[in-house]
Amino acid sequence: MSIANSIIRLLQQQAQEQHFRRVKHVWLQVGPLAMVEVESLRFCFTAACRGTLAEEAALDIISPEARARCQQCGEEQPVTSRFDACVHCGSYRLQLLQGDEMRVHELEVE
């Protein structure tokens, strides 16, 4: 619920700065390694929106592929866990490039 409330606060702040009065649609980017339960976030977002500028706003969640670069051989690859081994050399020294982010990707407003 705290994540949903933070999103609403961010929307309210942006509404003041950019002079819109209503949010109709939110596209939220949530990486598969962001440690966020997406269905719980959907439920909490709906509850948090009640009585706000985002009441009845649609929520779409975009989940980009998680990717990492091996610090040993330099190869980039998709990963499913922070603890994957490099598929090219077997090293566990992977640097996550994307997949743990959570951000508002796009808004439709009035």
Binding-site members for Zn(2+) are 70, 73, 86, 89
Binding-site positions read: 70, 73, 86, 89
Backbone angles phi, psi at 42, to 5 degrees: -60, -45
CA distances from 50 to 1, 5, 13, 44, 53 (A): 13, 11, 17, 10, 8
φ, ψ dihedrals at 43, nearest 5° = -60, -50
Q: How far apart are CA 43 and CA 37, in angstroms?
A: 10
Residue 108, beta-bridge partner list: 25
